[in-house]
Amino acid sequence: MKSHVGMEQKVCPVCGQAFDTGAILLDKRLRNTLERKTVTGWDLCPEHAKQWEKGYIALVECDPEKSTFTDGTIKPQDAYRTGRIVHIRKAAADRIFDVEIKSPVAFVEPGVVDALEKMQEGETSGD
């Protein structure tokens, strides 16, 4: 049922879950255009925002066969997530991928998460 008032939600680009922002939306024309909960865009959920604030980037594994690319890049709504997510320090990601990552989330192809896990195993077993 639509109303002229609704609760704003955003969708997290990392986990793909909708969450309440606490903002109230109002149709200025007082027309019944808003759902009770209305998604207005993308933003980090509280859990993933904390990781970003601590200096971590979320690497989200996506299936390239099922995702849609535009000019070689992928938008959150076009990423087919496999469910595998790893957080890595921004400085480490910049060194490993030899490029500065400015976003709190990067979509990676299958195999990247496995390779990072193997790298970490090598570091911990070499003590």
Q: What is the pairing mode between strands 73-74 and 69-70?
A: antiparallel
Q: How many domains, in total, are found in the chain?
A: 2
Please give the Cα distance from 6 to 25 (Å, whole number). Answer: 5
Work out the pLDDT band at 13, boundaries 50, 70, 90.
Answer: very high
Model pTM score: 0.82
Mean pLDDT of 58-69: 94
- Percentage of the chain surpassing pLDDT 70? 95
Task: Return the pLDDT at 101.
Answer: 87
- Containing structural domain, residue 104: 55-125
Task: Return the pLDDT at 81.
Answer: 93
Are residues 80 and 29 located together in one domain of the fold? no
Task: Return the pLDDT at 125.
Answer: 58
Are residues 120 and 86 located together in one domain of the fold? yes
pLDDT of 36 higher than 80: yes
For 13, 40, 77, 82, the CA distances from 67, given in Å and listed in that order, are: 14, 22, 9, 11
Please give the Cα distance from 64 to 6 (Å, whole number). Answer: 36
Task: Return the pLDDT at 123.
Answer: 65
Task: Return the pLDDT at 124.
Answer: 60
CA atoms within 13 A on the CB side of 74: 21
Are residues 64 and 38 located together in one domain of the fold? no
Are residues 27 and 84 located together in one domain of the fold? no
Other CB atoms within a 10 A radius of the CB of residue 103 amount to: 10
Mean pLDDT of 89-100: 88
Mean pLDDT of 91-114: 89
Work out the pLDDT band at 72, boundaries 50, 70, 90.
Answer: confident
pLDDT of 127 higher than 90: no
Are residues 121 and 71 located together in one domain of the fold? yes
